[in-house]
Structure 1
Amino acid sequence: MKKKLLLVSFLIVSFATSAQDMTTASAKPSIDKPDYNRWSIELNGGVNKPMRTMTASYATATLNPFHADLGVRYMIDPKFGFKLDFGYDKFQERDNTAPFESTYLRTSLQGVINMGRALNFENWTDTFGLLVHGGVGVSQLTSKNGFDGEDYMGNGILGLTGQIKLSNRAVLTGDLTGIVNGKQNWNFDGMSVARTGPFDGVILNASVGLTFYLGKNEKHADWVGETDKYGELERRVELVEKGLLDTDKDGVADLYDLEPNSITGVAVNTKGQSIDNNQNGVPDELESYLEKTYGQNGKGVTDSTVEELINEGYVNVYFDFNSSKPTNASLSGVDFLVKYLKNNPSKKADIIGYADEIGSTSYNQTLSQKRAEAVKNIVINAGIDASRLNVSGNGEDASVNKNSKEARQIVRRVTFKVVD
């Protein structure tokens, strides 16, 4: 039975997109959603070299400026993706050749293979990467002092991009790309008709640039490798382990517990919720005990009894060492106060924070105030108006043996006083 429960728990934690704690309204983490970014913007600039379809006596420099490229890339996973990019090339004569000036524009849809991840670069570096990209697109050639109009053609493109990671948000790149045009009518210089054939003009681009990663996660898919998968598996196992804990000791694992802060020892249903058949805000089992101890001739637990319990210090919220976040198991104390204030709208409450004696007096004074403020915020978020709440930090509680770890836990608390 335990093995079946563990399997079901793992499947739920692994595939649930979200889960919500209905009592505390705190969202449980989703593990299906990728924890890496997928989108990036690429900007490059450099030189070009038209390799074919030049008119006799017309030529460009070996490294001819200017080339520019702007792309948007989306990675399906760390190894494969797509990008849409726009390229601009300008062609001019080199020294001692006939003058000309033409412009080449293109757009291409390309597939991307992250060779860095495919070859497991992460085993030896987290700084250098390598992408291969290729696809098809359309192009336009215009000439300033050659043919009139525009020459439209299709293109195929293939390139190699080296990466140097500057940060989790920016990468320095160096790219070498080849482009081949189909059905190109005019030479790149624009002065004569190109050779006829299915494939004509060829251009080489060499550029350097920057890639900027978009998204709220720490890493981009470009840099997520096999070791990250192991880390993700460990995180999932940790979530399963935490989900099977029973923080409030009510017999229902936190993963299935809709009220993970129920009062210890109070009967709960199969969903971990305290049984309160008369819906008066006090669990039936606790109400039975209070009736026996403080009963009013069979009239049930009265508001005055609840107020007495609050004011006498039986309702508290506890904290871990040096923390201003209430422990989950003690949030039932907040719930107890909230329900009382909702049932008695004319009442107000003092929220009083304390700290143990470890640390300086001034620090503990501040810490006790933070604890009281934290509880106040929870009460406000539960629907109680802030004007009904007064907060104070009472600093150190020296009533227990400061050398006792267990005793110090008792005084790291927030208590309440109900006032008119």
Structure 2
Amino acid sequence: MKKLVLPFLLLLLSSTTAFAQEDDQDDKMTLSTDFNKWSIDVNGGLNKTGNPMAKGYYIKATNFFHANLGFRYMFNPKFGLKFQGGYDVFNSADGSLPFETKLITINIQGYANLGRIMEFETWTQRINLLGHTGFGVGEMTGTNFIGKDHIGNFLMGLTAQYRISDRISLNGDITMINSFHHHKTWDGSMYDKDASSGFDSSYYTATLGLSIYLGKHQQHADWFVDEENDELEDLQSRLEELETMMNDSDKDGVPDYLDAEPNTITGVAVDSKGRTIDKNENGVPDELESYIENKNNEVKQSVNADIAELINSGYVNVYFDFNKDQPNAQSVNGINFLVKHLKENPSVKADVIGYADEIGDSNYNKDLSRRRSENVRKILMDAGIDGSRLNIVGNGEDTSVNKSSPYARQIVRRVTFILK
């Protein structure tokens, strides 16, 4: 017995340490620990042995009696440990030589809450499933031999649960036990050790019982469901916000949230902060300026037409901060670009079209969008553009983006232009 007890104690210590480490890691990921962890599990029912049996001995197919008592501790809603004691009686069947054998066992088992792992809570809060496995030792006595036979065992099984209340649940369990280190057969005869290898025997138990939950919280870990939906929704919201932040409205290769000029002309070279490269600081990107200067008038007219198309397509905009009707500092280059184009093309007129985001009263936003277009018109007039060439339009709210995203709303708080 001493040879079995020492390894068993070592197993108990190592298993407890392993599960405790897992518990620490799991607690870091769990949003709440408002659940009870201890339970008392009481079961009784039938058992059935397999080999080894001596010649002439047979055991009943449905043999009464098996009972066990266990103390279970759940580190979290998915994993736990159980220390259990069991008692079995094996009786001879009709036609068998008579015998009665008794077996007392103790074991430690790791438990997995399969119902929580497989998310039973999505369709039921009454039915659950536990899986368990572990090692133990046993002491066997019987009518056909004197003394005691000490054996070890490995066991694994499934427990179905039905929740009666927050304090008690009904369970049914089926467990398979493989034993080793036998000196006697189940009927008490001397076992032929030369015929054995590895595990010497097996027997099965089928029981019904109760799980009694202890603790101050409302629910036990068997039935506790963490509010993970809120975390998932928050994560989804953050991902959507990140996607918006990574948008590149002007297609210059710099995400909008890092872009100091989110309205640069598509295809024009920019620096690492998304600003157009304009070494002579004349308001026209060097790349575009060089292209225009190297073309004749016909090509220049074509370029002007292309520029007008870019402006009309919304690639040149003036942006505003929230609830402001004066352009922000990042919009200076866009205004300069339009001023230069209008000065070079004195016959061209423009609609100055203001927009607002969806936050606030619609009538207020309509007025805000018009004030924005009026202020941009004034800046253009101060820069030398005849006011008769500029038509004011207040288009109110732009509903084309997700109003819950502050980064998306920043894109629609703008004044855009249509050349005529």
Aligning the two structures, in what range does the TM-score lie when normalised by the shorter sequence? Answer: 0.3 to 0.5
Q: TM-score, normalised by structure 2?
A: 0.46
Larger Rg: 2
Q: TM-score, normalised by structure 1?
A: 0.46
Higher helix share: 2
